[in-house]
Amino acid sequence: MLKHISMGVICLLAGAASAATIYKCTEGGKVSYNDRPCGATAVVLAAPSAPGDPAATAEAVERIARERALLQGIEKERAARAEQQAGEAERSQRAAALERRRCDKLRLQRKWADEDIARAGRDEAERARLKARRQGEALAVECPA
């Protein structure tokens, strides 16, 4: 029982302390906060209203609701932007993979044309060289790297 009474007294004192005037003092370049004025440099700070004040509570609830709505809007925009970037990255990766496949196919065709030159007889050798040269040119145009 004594424990409950002491907690009640502490709560009452804490409420009274929060309603006191607060002074901001600047002395020697240092800032301090006191419950009493400390000279000519003392600035009175507005104490927050008591939690039981219905106008302040309603205003705080409205402000929190506005901030929450703003935050949700920002999060939605961020998610949409991330989704768009992911889609662009995926399209870019698909295009790069397609480009690699096309270049690999041209390299393989060039390799086969070179092998055809090695296997060709006298009559077919010139035709195989021409085909290999054209494959090399196509590879150089399509895949310069």
Report angle CA 85, 91, 93 to the nearest 5 degrees: 100
pLDDT, averaged across the chain: 82
Please write the tens of the pLDDT for every residue from 111-132: 888 888 888 887 788 888 888 8
pTM for this predicted structure? 0.45
Q: What's residue 46's pLDDT?
A: 73
Q: Identify which has the larger pLDDT, 101 or 123.
A: 101
| Token pair in block for residue 28 | 């020697």
**What share of the chain has pLDDT > 70, as a percent?**
81
In the 8-state DSSP scheme, what is residue 145? -
In angstroms, the CA 26 to CA 29 distance is 6
pLDDT at 135 over 80: yes
Q: What's residue 123's pLDDT?
A: 79
Please write the tens of the pLDDT for every residue from 19-61: 567 888 888 888 888 888 887 777 777 766 556 667 778 888 9
Q: Identify which has the larger pLDDT, 107 or 50.
A: 107
Q: What's residue 77's pLDDT?
A: 96
Nearest to 136 by CA among 116, 43, 45, 71: 116
CB 135 within 8 A of CB 111: no
